[in-house]
């Protein structure tokens, strides 16, 4: 039964890729902002690294499995920042892997820091049709074996940061590609352009506690229509003495105002421990709110990161939000 569900889900995704989200999203977005906006590179003024691994829709065979790793830092003049990131995502018989380099330039105006970033690299997308359990062993709609494509990836972004807030806008995937499969029905996949808007702020509650709130809006932008389906993700959390963070997340997965579509895609809990030596660990669990709640019981994600010279840098430079 699980194989049937996974195959049905993959085929449904293929038919709707031209009108839906394709890129993975992480619950630990607060600590992986560079995955969405290249302007975030070097935001804290010192060397940062991070790794996030996500298993989505556990219990559903062939569900998405995503991983993202990055390292980035501001240079000595604190205006230029460089970074490197890699990402992989697997869904059923399909998988893509990408590697990108990042460049960001920052300008300080009074208490606000403005930054602009660009990223470029290559992406490999491949499909192994032999992993599908077809009812008919010979089906002209599915080619024998697999297929693989290489394509360039280019993205841009801008961001403004204050001591207790940030806001940004980015398009990390500017290019659209159409990938054709050699089959009787001429199946094809269109890799779509994605845009993101993000914002966040913090408020002191006591001398040791702070409340953090953030939002991430994402949408596809195609050549055929003005825009595709959008998703609005909300995060609220409490931070204790810069050491422990715990909070709630809500992912709509669809425009939240659409009638009859329920409460969105998922809601979750996340917690992060950030040690004084710069080491960070995090774990999150999302419970599905959509129809996937029947075959799938949730999504699990863990993250780890490290910040070099964190104590010395905090003394030498002003602390900026996240």
| Calpha distance 28→218 (Å, rounded) | 15
Rg (CA), the chain: 20
24 neighbors 64 (Cβ within 8 angstroms): yes
List the domain boundaries for the chain: 2-316
Over the stretch 16-51, which tens digit does the pLDDT of each residue have? 443 444 566 788 888 889 999 999 999 888 899 999
Distances (CA, A) of 303 to 91, 132, 309: 20, 31, 20
Note the pLDDT of residue 312.
Answer: 45
Note the pLDDT of residue 309.
Answer: 66
70 neighbors 42 (Cβ within 8 angstroms): no
Q: How confident is the model at residue 298 (pLDDT cuts 50, 70, 90)?
A: confident
Average confidence score pLDDT of the chain: 79
Note the pLDDT of residue 62.
Answer: 73
- Write the DSSP symbol of residue 312: H
| Calpha distance 76→309 (Å, rounded) | 14
Classified as helix, coil or strand, 135 is coil
| Strand runs labelled E in 162-298 | 165-173, 177-180, 188-191, 193-204, 209-221, 230-240, 244-251, 266-274, 279-288
End-to-end CA distance of the chain: 44
Q: How confident is the model at residue 293 (pLDDT cuts 50, 70, 90)?
A: low
- Top pLDDT among 177 and 278 is at 278
Note the pLDDT of residue 49.
Answer: 94
**Assigned CATH for 2-316:** 2.40.160.40
Tokens of 266: 């998922």
63 neighbors 91 (Cβ within 8 angstroms): yes
Q: Could you tell me which of 22, 26, 23 has the C-alpha nearest to residue 304?
A: 26
Over the stretch 113-169, which tens digit does the pLDDT of each residue have? 999 999 999 999 888 777 766 666 655 556 666 778 888 999 999 999 998 999 999
């Amino acid at each position: 039964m699980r194989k049937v569900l996974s195959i049905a889900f993959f085929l449904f995704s293929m038919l709707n890729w031209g009108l839906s989200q394709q890129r993975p999203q992480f619950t630990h977005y607060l600590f992986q902002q560079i995955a969405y906006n290249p302007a975030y590179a070097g935001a804290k003024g010192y060397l940062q690294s991070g790794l996030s691994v996500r298993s989505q829709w556990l219990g559903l065979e062939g569900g998405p499995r995503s991983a993202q790793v990055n390292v980035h830092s501001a240079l000595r003049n604190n205006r230029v920042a460089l970074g490197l990131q890699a990402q992989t995502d697997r869904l059923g018989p399909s998988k893509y892997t990408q590697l990108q380099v990042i460049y960001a330039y920052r300008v300080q105006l009074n208490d606000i820091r403005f930054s602009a970033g660009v990223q470029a690299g290559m992406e490999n997308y491949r499909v192994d049709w032999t992993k599908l359990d077809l009812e008919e062993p010979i089906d002209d709609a599915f080619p024998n074996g697999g297929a693989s494509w290489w394509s360039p990836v280019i993205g841009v972004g801008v961001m403004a940061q204050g001591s207790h807030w940030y806001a940004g806008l980015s398009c990390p995937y500017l290019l659209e590609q159409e990938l054709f499969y050699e089959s009787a029905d001429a199946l094809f996949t269109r890799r779509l352009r994605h845009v993101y808007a993000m914002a966040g702020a913090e408020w002191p509650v006591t001398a040791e506690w702070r409340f953090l709130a953030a939002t991430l809006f994402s949408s596809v932008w195609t050549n055929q229509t003005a825009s595709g389906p959008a998703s609005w993700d909300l995060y609220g959390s409490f931070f204790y003495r810069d050491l422990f963070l715990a909070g709630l997340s809500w992912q709509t997965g669809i425009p939240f105002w659409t009638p009859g579509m329920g409460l969105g895609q998922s809601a979750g809990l996340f917690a992060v421990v950030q040690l004084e030596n710069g080491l960070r660990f995090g774990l999150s669990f999302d419970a599905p709110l959509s129809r996937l709640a029947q075959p799938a019981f949730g999504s699990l994600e863990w993250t780890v990161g490290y910040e070099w010279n964190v104590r010395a840098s905090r003394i030498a430079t002003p602390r900026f939000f996240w």
